[in-house]
Structure 1
C-alpha cells in the first residue's frame, strides 16, 4: 500500500490537492520524460532524459519572473516548477482530439490522432462574416473589392498564424496569447492582450445572438411576435448555448465536430446552388448580373467613399471580421491531448497554422465571387453600412438581408430562401457557442494563476474566482460571466469586437519577433545549457523544435506591419469622406481603450516603462524554463494516466 506523498519544495503553494494513488505516487515528484508514452510513469532514474527540465536540474526551484507584492493590482502565485498534477479546481481536461479542434477552428482543424481542437477553430472562423459581410462589401466596393479584400486579409491571417503556431507548438499553455506577450514583450501588455481577447469573444457572443434574431425575423410569424422574439430568441436560445458550454469537454468536443461538419456541408451546398443559379436554374434574371458587375468591377457606393481605393480600404476593414477565429486554437490547446515531445510535440497545431487560414480564404473568395455573378452590386436588399444616409434612389425599403438569401429569393426556386436563411441562423448560433467557449477559456487562462486567497484585495479574490473549474473541470464562472457581460451591447461595441482582435494579432507578431531574435542572439548559451524545444537553428536536434514557420522573421515583420496598417489606416478610411461618430468609435475607441488599460496597469503595478529585458542569456533561459513549467503543470493529467 503506497504512502501519502508530501509536496515537493518546488511545488507552488496553491497545490493543495494531491492524489495519493500507487500508480501516481512516482509522478508527483518526477516530471514526464521526453520519451514516455501515454500511461508510462517514469522512474526517478529517467529524470535526466526529460527535455523540458533539461538544463534545470541544478536548481530545485527558480525565482518568480514577476513581482508579486500584494500592492500590485494583479498578484500572481509564485510558481517555479509545476508538477504534472495541479489542483483539480484550477485545471481542465486534456481530452480534445484532432478532429474536434479541426471543426471548431471554423472550417479546419488538424486531424491528429489524439487532438480535438481543429473542429473548434472551424466553427469560430466560419460565421456570419461569410454570409453577411460579403454582401456588405459587394454593396460598398463592388465585385473586385469582394475578391481583393478577402484575399488580402486571408494572407494577413495566414502570416499571423505562422507566428502564433510556432510558439504554440512549443508551449500549448493556458492563456497562451497573453502569456507569450507577457514573457517576451511586456507583462502588463500581456494582461491587456488577455483582456482584449476576452472582450472580443464575449462581445461577439452577444453580437451573434442579436444577428441570429435579425435573421429569425425573415420568417413572418416570428417577426410579428414580440413574445417569441423576447422569450425564445433573447432568453431561451442564449440559455441553451450556455448549457451546452457546461458539458464535459469530451462531449462538447464531439458536439463541435457535428456542428462544424454541418457548417462545411452547408457551405458546399450553397456554393453548388450558386453555380446552378448562375447556369440558369430558377429565374433567368441572374444571368445578367455577372456580366454587369464584372463589366465595371470598381463600382462603389459614393455615399460611403469618394473613390474606389477608399471603398477598398473600408472593405478590408470589414473583411477582417470574417477571419476572427483563425487563432482560437490557442484557447483550445489547453484541453487537447498532450503531444509526445520526443516526436515533434507541436504536430497537432501545425495544420491550423498552414491550412485553416488558407481554407477560410478559399471559402470566402469562392463564395463571394460566385455571389457577384448572381446579384447586382447595388441591389436594394444588400446590407449597407448603418451609419450611411438612406439611398433616395432606391424605392424598395425592405430590410437588408444576407446576399445569399437575396439571391435565393430572386431565383424563384421554391424553399431555397428559407433553406439558406436556416443555414445562416444555424451558423450564427453555432459560432456564438464557440465564441462563448473561447471567451470562457481566455478568462480562465488569464485568472487561473491569480492569487486570491485570504488577505488579498477584494477585486483579486473576485478575479481569481474566474480561474476555478467545477466538478466537470469546466470554467463555469468564467463562462457565465462571459455570456452576460455584454448582453446590453450596442452597435458600436459589436464593431469594436471585430477591430480589437487586430490588437491581439499585432502583439503576437511582436512577441514572436522578440522570441526569434533572442534565441538566435543567445544560441550558444542555450545550446550549451541544453535548453529544450527552443534550438530552432539546430540540425542535430531538429526533431526537438516542433515547427519552423515559413519566411521568418521577414514574415512576422510583414504581418505586424499589416495589422498596424489595417488598425490605423484601413479602419479610419470611413472618416475620409466626412466625420461619422459610429465608425470613429468603432475604429479608434478600441485603440484608446487598449492603450489606456496598458498605461493604467503600469501605474497601478508600479511597473517599469520598458519591455522585458531579453539581452541576458540567463534571464532568457529562466523564461524558457518558466514556460516549460507552465506547460507541464497547466492541466490535469488524470485523464492521460487513467487511459494508460
Structure 2
C-alpha cells in the first residue's frame, strides 16, 4: 500500500469510477462491418485500453517505472490493474460455479485415495478438516479484498500493493508458472484417464492429447465468457456426481448394494477386513494382507495427508482472480464467497467420510493414486467393490471432465496473471496486450504454446512422468505461498484501512472471521510448509531409501521454496509505509 492510501483508493478502491464500474473496453468495437472483418479486428488491441499511466517516468535501462516509493510506482500499477480492459462478462452464476469448480477436481476424486492409504481414515478427516478451516479463512480474506479491489491479477496485485513489490513479483510469477505447467500435465492426465477403457488403449496417446489441447485452447479463445460457460457446465456435472456418490455411498454402507452386507465403520477398526472383500477377490491381494484402522504411519502419516489435502484445494482462489472480469463483483462475489463453507463441508468432508467407511486404507489399489491414474480413485474403487456394472465408467467420465476443467482453468489463471504482471511492469509488456474482445491475447497464446509440452507422452509414460514432475516441482508450493500471501495482505489492508481513519462499515463485504481468521489461515499455511519440509526430507520409510532417492523426492516436493526465496532476495524491494 502506498503512503497516500486515499489516492490509491480513488484509483482502485472499487475501480476508480463514480458508479463503481470500470469501463467495458471490450464493448467498444464496431458492429456494422462484415463478420469476417469484425472477427479479424477483434484480435487487435483495444484502442481505448489504458496501456500505461500518462507522463510516468521510465528507467531507460530497465524499462521499469520510476516512482516515489523506492523505484516502484504504486499509483501507476494500481491504476493500470484497475483499468486493464479485460472483458467484464462473468455473471453471478458463473462466479458461483467457478468457486465450486475450483474446489472439486482430481484432488478430491483421485489423490484423496493416496491420502487414505498414507494416513488412514482418521488422518484423512482430520487433515482435510483443518485445511478446510484454512481455506475458509483464506477465501473470506480474499473476498473482502476482491470486492474492495476487483483488479486484474487479484492476489498477486494485493501482494505487490500491501506487502512488497518484490514479494508480489515472486508470487505473481510463481502462480503463473504453476498454471503454465499444469496445462500439459492435465492434458497428459486426461489421456491416461482414458486407459480405464481397454479400447482407448489402442489409440496413440499423442492423438488424445492433441484433441484435448485443441478443445481447451478453443474454449479460452472464446474469451472469459467461454471460460465461464465451460466451468459452469463442468461444475454442475461435478456437483451432481459428488451428491450422487454421497447418496449411493450411504446406501452401500447400509448394505443396499448388489453385493449387500452392512459395513458401518468397521474399517476404522483394526483387522476387520472380511475374506470376501473385493480387494482380495478382485484386487488380487494376498489373504489377510489388507490392513484397516483409524490411523496409519502415525503422526508422519497425518502430516503427509495434511500436505495432500492442501494441494487438493488448489484452484479455490480462482474466484478472486475472476472478480476483475465479473460484471458486478460487489454483488456476485460475496454470494459466491459466503457459500464456500457449505461447499467444503458437503463436497469434501461428507464425501470423504463416506469414502473412509467404504474402503480400508490397506487396499493396494489405492497405492497408485495420483492425479494421472483414475483407476486408483477411491470413488471408483468403492463403486467397483459394490459390484455395480457400468457406474465406474460413468464416474470415470466425471474424473475426465474434472481433469479437463483444471486444464481449462490453467490457461485462464496463467494468462490473467501474466497480463496483470505486465500491467505492473513485472513481466514483458507484450503480455499486457488486451484485444477488443477483452482477451489477454498474447498471454493466452503463450500459455497454449507451452501446452505443447504434453507431447512428451510420445517418449513413453516414464519419460512423460519424469519431465512433467520436475516441471511441476518448480511451482508445487505455489498455492500455499499464494494463500499465505492473501491472508497477510488482508492483515496489512485492515491495518492500513484503520490507519487512514476508515470504518469497517464502509466495506461492501467483510470477512466473517476478520483479522483473527487471516492470522489463523496464515499460521496454518506456514504449518503446511513445515509439514511438507518434514515429510519431504524424512519420508515414511526413508530408512529403506537410498540417499539419491531421498534427495530427488525432496527437491520434487520442495524445489519451489528456494526458488521463491531467491527471487525475493535478488529483487529490489522498498519499504511500504502507511
Using structure 2 for the length normalisation, give the TM-score: 0.77
CA 1:223–1:191: 2 relative to 1, 3 Å: same
More helix by share: 2
* Mapped contact 2:473–2:559 kept (Cα < 8 A): no
Residue 587 (structure 1) aligned with residue 544 (structure 2) = no
The question of 1:272 aligning with 2:256 is answered no
Change (3 A) 1:125 1:498: farther
Q: Distance in 1 between matches of 2:508 and 2:215?
A: 39
2:160 counterpart SS class: helix
In structure 1, stretches of 5+ residues that fail to align are: 1-29, 40-60, 108-122, 301-306, 340-345, 387-397, 452-459, 524-534, 615-644
What is the match of residue 598 of structure 1? 568
| Counterpart selection for 2:443 from 475, 478, 483 | 478
Q: Distance in 2 between matches of 1:289 and 1:35?
A: 54
Question: Which 10-residue stretch deviates more, 286-295 or 96-105?
Answer: 286-295
Contact in 1 for aligned 2:137/2:513 (Cα 8 Å): no
- Within 2, Cα distance between the matches of 1:322 and 1:37? 34
Residue aligning to 1:33: 18
Listed one character per residue, the Cα deviations across residues 244-283 of structure 1 (whole Å, up to 9, x for unaligned) are: 1100333442332222212211222222222222232445
Tell me: CA distance 1:187–1:68, structure 2 relative to 1, closer, same or farther (3 Å).
Answer: farther
Contact 2:369-2:376 at 8 Å conserved across structures:
no
CA-to-partner distance for each residue in 1:173-229, whole Å, 9 max, x for gaps?
A: 00121221111211111111111111222222222222222211111111233x2x1
Say which of 428, 446, 465 aligns to 2:403: 428
Q: Go from structure 1 to structure 2 and tell me whether the alpha carbon gap of 1:36 and 1:131 turns closer, same or farther (over 3 Å shift).
A: closer
How far residue 575 of structure 1 moved from its aligned partner, in angstroms, is: 2.9
* Cα separation, 2, equivalents of 1:598 and 1:373: 45
Q: Does structure 2 conserve the Cα–Cα contact (< 8 Å) formed by 1:96 and 1:336?
A: yes
Displacement after TM superposition at 1:124 (Å): 2.2
Classify 1:104/1:498 alpha carbon distance in 2 versus 1 (closer, same or farther; 3 Å): farther
Aligned to 1:454: none
**Greater Rg by CA:** 1
CA–CA distance in structure 1, aligned partners of residues 361 and 379 of structure 2: 13
Residue equivalent to 1:298:
294
Q: Deviations over 1:393-449 (max 9, x none)?
A: xxxxx9952111122222221211111111111111122212221221111111134
Deviation of residue 83 (structure 1)?
A: 13
Larger RCO of the pair (alpha carbons < 8 Å, separation 6+) = 2
SS at match of 1:413: coil
| Candidates 335, 347, 350, aligned match of 1:363 | 347
1:512 corresponds to which of 487, 490, 507? 490
Instruction: State the distance in 2 between where 1:85 and 1:497 align.
Output: 27
Q: 1:565 & 1:247 partners in 2: Cα distance?
A: 40
Q: Is the 8 A contact 2:368 2:376 kept in 1?
A: no
Whether the 8 Å contact between 2:81 and 2:153 is mirrored in structure 1 is no
Give me the whole-angstrom Cα distance separating, in 2, the residues matched to 1:211 and 1:381: 18
Deviation at 1:143, TM superposition (A): 0.8
Shift of 1:172: 0.3
Query: What CA distance in whole angstroms lies between the structure 1 residues aligned with 2:261 and 2:140?
Result: 40
412-421 vs 491-500, which deviates more? 491-500
Structure-to-structure mapping, 1:155-554, within 5 angstroms: 155-225=133-203, 227=204, 229-231=205-207, 233-284=208-259, 287-288=262-263, 290-294=265-269, 297-300=293-296, 307-338=297-328, 346-384=330-368, 401-450=376-425, 463-485=428-450, 487=453, 489-494=467-472, 497-523=475-501, 535-537=502-504, 542=505, 544-554=506-516
The Cα shift of 1:286 comes to: 6.8
Tell me the distance in 1 between the aligned counterparts of 2:80 and 2:126: 49
Does residue 1:564 correspond to 2:545, yes or no? no
**2-structure distance, mates of 1:441, 1:511:** 20
Unaligned runs of 5+ in 2: 1-14, 25-52, 68-72, 271-291, 457-466
| Distance in 2, Cα, partners of 1:494 & 1:136 | 18
Q: Name the CA distance, whole Å, in 1 between partners of 2:406 and 2:336.
A: 18
Residue 283 of structure 2 aligns with which residue?
none
Q: Could you say what secondary structure the match of 1:125 adopts? A: coil
- Kindly tell me: are residues 35 and 209 of structure 1, through their superposed partners in 2, closer, same or farther at Cα, counting changes over 3 Å? closer
Instruction: Classify 1:385/1:585 alpha carbon distance in 2 versus 1 (closer, same or farther; 3 Å).
Output: farther
| CA–CA separation in structure 1 for the residues paired with 2:153 and 2:16 | 22
RMSD between aligned alpha carbons?
A: 3.3
> Are the counterparts in 2 of residues 145 and 298 from structure 1 also a CA contact under 8 Å?
yes
SS at match of 1:485: helix
Aligned residues of 2:82 and 2:150 also touching (Cα < 8 A): no
Q: 1:127 aligns with which of 77, 101, 105?
A: 105
What TM-score do you get using the length of structure 1 for normalisation? Answer: 0.69
CA contact (8 A) 1:286 1:375 kept: no
Write the distance in 1 (CA, Å) between the matches of 2:369 and 2:474. 15
